[in-house]
Structure 1
């Protein structure tokens, strides 16, 4: 890939290349978010992890059957993709609990006509629904924050303002104050080309300001007049909870690996204290009222000024740490120089826990949950009372994990119960998933699976590795026990109604290669894609559209489960697609699932990242049970260049919160030549949190 010469002070702009390696994602997004991870070989070199039970026969048979099934709906696909949908496909409320009709504002029960695929520079909700921006990049978060001025940014201002590229969205009620809540949001990464005027800032100023635009924000929000609507609390001194967590915020490392020599640095000889959190992607809210946040593509932040420490050659390679990071942060903070601080990257890649109700408390990095490219973590309570956290490692060919706590959850919301529960993620057992296909003639991608233990807080189950080895280098430990390589496992969440686990497997352009052959859990080696709206479907190698995996645990704390691919995403006209058995002529096309959420009827909501079917990304509602199981209907689309993050169904299912991330991140765009101005309050884009709700 070629890099254009950069104006003074600006990061180099990645130029668009030909082909569809990254789907609809721009090279800018790939460059700034993950350091072009897909341009490099998969960091998992192992040869295990493929379901071989009659795979070739099963995949071939099902492709033929689904191709025949798609034929009856092929004539309707043009209208589903381009103009008004046919009446039978246009609306429908899933079979759920009685009552709560269309006028109630309950998003899970409302009938709506799906939003048609489009390339608008706008958030577009289904007819009858509205949306509003809750908070934007640069808006004040804590008292004393200056008004945002894109021509006068500073690190001091950024640490008090809402950060860039919001991702995870959590909303926590404030006890005793039903009109207000706390909004907790991650800030995943920065795009310096869109954020900064070319000649206004020096290179070091840009790096310093960008550093403080990472992290998390805690913001008080207030109900609006329209049921389901919310807005930011304008009086910043009216709440003690508002907080910006940034690159200089002190975190505590806890769990069995805390204090290990490989977590010690010149600035922290204890190995138990870390400044900042990086590339925070998805997350989850715990039953005890804290927020979990996943550190994902942390590898790209580390550079080198000389040789790399030879002790960590294999470990660095498995985590994609090359010493050629794209951020240049070592120029303004020596700890991001691998030559000087070879242990610093070991202090990132963890699950972070933040208590938004204790703004003076130090956030925690939980070593017991393992170190990898965490998309997030979501917690369920098993019948035994133990806490179970499900996690995905967002890399081509990596794994799905879970953690089961040693102790049981304390009931109630007292301070003593919360204090006890905040220690639950420090002791327990970490597992990795192995999937087995049934290879039967049922014409469904399904099978069984097992959770393979890696270690407890006191014992390693991986030969030749200590507990600390397993937790600090979890990928290497998992490689030794033969789990299943998956197609970028991202958000993994438990449906609170049916107790099943749903995982977004976003895509894998390498699936079907020699290193990543197809198997029953990852069956697509060639996908149908579109270059633009109205263009004909064409074939592209690999799994370009992704899946939604449904896991049926025998017990959340147990070690066995059943599974099926509920959604094989893509265009309904494509032979490989599958929508839970629902009529393919009556669904919205969906590509690249990223995050999942649930309303209180148990309907699945899916947000997408990298749609290769020619449309902007969006959010979709999908019933998981009853006659409408698998009926994918698009509820909202994003602005140009943006990804849909979050999402979160809240407020008795009347509110859909989501983050609009990287609007305008389209190849060739710069601050002076923007591809989007959403939310259209300025002449440049501002990533923001949005809430959608029924119109009055």
Structure 2
């Protein structure tokens, strides 16, 4: 059985970051109550900066790093440029632009902030309107019945919108005016809130198969109301599609076909049934969507027989008991099945007959997201965080150039772009003496938390094969056991790196670090300059500037852009903006940009005692750091999948009513349909009542 660990400094009956125990059970298998998976002894920032080294002397100590050349298949060595040549990441902690802020909020953020609250509703600013776009169970495929929670079947669910929507994408639909393609992740199921009279110790086969069908991805065409920006699903559209826990997916990259991923049902090691725990994701310039498989470990039992202990697989019965109905979820009976999950999935939403791909070249870990930035010569760079305490964040630099156009040849070529390139892991160095970092969040003597960093290569995949850059590991092993590769490479242990988003305006990259209540507790690593608070329950956001502002650069500068919490807490800061003029925020999770360059942040597990929400913050100009709350979500819910367009904001309201002790019979929330109706995760759209653009 899993060992339950006490949480130091956490009130009895609560979970880290403000989550309910029910959310921890169903979403991540009580990950924060397990032993910390990363027990490696690799350096963290506090070790690297032992002694009062000056920033200049540290930067002269740039190391030689093995890197992959930009051309496909070329592997060589190159000197990391002197760190003093890395552009400054911008004044962060305690610093603004040096100019007084303008009287108006930044363009795109000109709305009256929503006050923190605990209302069982989606609360939005004055002058705005909202509607539910689509709910769990709404039919989207031809022949799917209307949702009836009392008579739900697996066949019905396979044609209906899935459960617990997370990442959202809206893509254009050429030739159909006023219509777009909505793609949504379905991260996990909460059977207690789905089935009346659910017995967690004895689920039925039908309940399990419904849950399989409620996982995965949904693709549905939506139609715009031209007067308001509201969106309505178009049922039975030819592009509408469901991908579930039993749909077919294809493995690509170095691990595909290797002995590590072959099973009794798939002796070729290339075809996987299902995708699990899809959290955040991204869209690509070539018209596909990316989906990160996150807490896949919780669906498997037999962890005592696992090849690698770094992924937190339990030894007792799983929460959902799927192993009773399909042997592939039991490592003792099917040891390699678990190696086929934990990847970035690529979906072509314009071809409902295509087989989605799992890209092993991007590594296997708890992918929170996969966001794309292009190099100047047209190659993709994909950023992704590993959502675990003391784990790492990564980037993949492709070696093949995108082919312009939407013709068959271009689409066929572009669907292979994430199969060749180099995967890197981040190593950060702070520029303050170790003695200045005391775990309270107190500023070091130089006035800000910042430093430099480099990308360490792990594996390079080419059309002719793959090369490992990690001693003692093959390329296939690096792609399957990527956490171990990061350990060996000496990557920096971070506070749950989640969504990562490059700014389309400045090129700076923002990393959401949700929280880590284990930092500095017991034998766990203490605070360092990149993660400056022990028992960090509110999280922070890192701002990263690649050298020369080039996505493929191997060195970068970093600073902390935002340290979350109550603005009255002296350990918080907001890029230098006056703290008496910002909204409180806790546990940043998913992030997105609007067309004005503002960063929008959704939260997960608000530890301030109020509901999660969506916030906008200016990243440039005299109002840099001004953070304003745009909405809050209902009781027990998390804010996911923020998508900001000129005339609308979309959020995925995930796990509403997920409060300890709640059930179908005793709901903790009546959202979205009111009393007497089952609580349902749903996608919400918000627009201005006057039809004008958001926040202008």
Give the TM-score category using the shorter length.
0.7 to 0.9
- Of residues 335, 342, 352 in structure 1, which corresponds to 2:328? 335
Asked whether the 8 Å contact 2:541–2:562 carries over to 1, the reply is yes
Q: How far apart are the structure 2 equivalents of 1:330 and 1:657? A: 36
Aligned to 1:273: 271
- The Cα offsets for residues 340-388 of structure 1, whole Å up to 9 and x where unpaired, read as 1010000000000000000000000001000000011001101132210
Aligned to 2:449: 445
Q: How far apart are the structure 2 equivalents of 1:199 and 1:561? A: 51
Distance 1:164 1:56, change over 3 A: farther
Aligned to 2:209: 208
- Of residues 322, 326, 339 in structure 1, which corresponds to 2:314? 322
Asked whether the 8 Å contact 2:368–2:387 carries over to 1, the reply is yes
Aligned to 1:6: none
Aligned to 2:258: 260
1:25-104 equivalences under 5 Å are: 25-52=19-46, 92-94=104-106
1:515 maps onto 2:519 in alignment = no
Asked whether the 8 Å contact 2:256–2:270 carries over to 1, the reply is yes
Q: How far apart are the structure 2 equivalents of 1:461 and 1:303? A: 32
Distance 1:44 1:199, change over 3 A: closer
Aligned to 1:493: 501
Segments of structure 2 that go 5 or more residues without pairing to the other structure are 4-9, 54-92, 433-443, 691-696
1:72-471 equivalences under 5 Å are: 92-94=104-106, 108=108, 110-198=109-197, 203-233=204-234, 236-237=235-236, 239-304=237-302, 309=305, 312-313=306-307, 315=308, 317-324=309-316, 325-439=318-432, 441-457=445-461, 458-471=466-479
How far apart are residue 256 of structure 1 and its match?
Answer: 1.2
Q: How far apart are the structure 1 equivalents of 2:49 and 2:283? A: 40
Asked whether the 8 Å contact 1:90–1:114 carries over to 2, the reply is no
Q: How far apart are the structure 2 equivalents of 1:418 and 1:578? A: 45
Distance 1:54 1:560, change over 3 A: closer
How far apart are residue 308 of structure 1 and its match?
Answer: 5.1
- Of residues 653, 656, 665 in structure 1, which corresponds to 2:649? 656
Distance 1:372 1:592, change over 3 A: same
- Of residues 675, 689, 694 in structure 1, which corresponds to 2:668? 675
- The Cα offsets for residues 104-147 of structure 1, whole Å up to 9 and x where unpaired, read as xxxx2x52111000000000011111111100000001010011
Aligned to 1:534: none
Distance 1:388 1:462, change over 3 A: same
Q: How far apart are the structure 2 equivalents of 1:578 and 1:326? A: 39
Higher alpha-carbon deviation: 140-149 or 404-413: 404-413
Asked whether the 8 Å contact 1:379–1:390 carries over to 2, the reply is yes
How far apart are residue 199 of structure 1 and its match?
Answer: 6.4
Q: How far apart are the structure 1 equivalents of 2:445 and 2:230? A: 49
Segments of structure 1 that go 5 or more residues without pairing to the other structure are 4-15, 59-67, 71-87, 97-107, 526-541
SS for the counterpart of 2:629 is strand
Q: How far apart are the structure 2 equivalents of 1:191 and 1:90? A: 47
Q: How far apart are the structure 1 equivalents of 2:486 and 2:414? A: 28
SS for the counterpart of 1:178 is coil
Give structure 1 regions of 4+ aligned residues with deviation exceeding 4 angstroms: 53-58, 88-92, 199-202
1:531-546 equivalences under 5 Å are: 542-546=535-539
Higher alpha-carbon deviation: 132-141 or 16-25: 16-25
SS for the counterpart of 1:209 is helix
Q: How far apart are the structure 1 equivalents of 2:607 and 2:485? A: 34
Asked whether the 8 Å contact 2:649–2:686 carries over to 1, the reply is yes
How far apart are residue 69 of structure 1 and its match?
Answer: 8.4
Aligned to 1:583: 578
Aligned to 1:595: 590
Q: How far apart are the structure 2 equivalents of 1:151 and 1:55? A: 62
Q: How far apart are the structure 2 equivalents of 1:687 and 1:497? A: 33
Aligned to 2:76: none
Q: How far apart are the structure 2 equivalents of 1:323 and 1:431? A: 31
Distance 1:254 1:387, change over 3 A: same
Distance 1:57 1:30, change over 3 A: farther
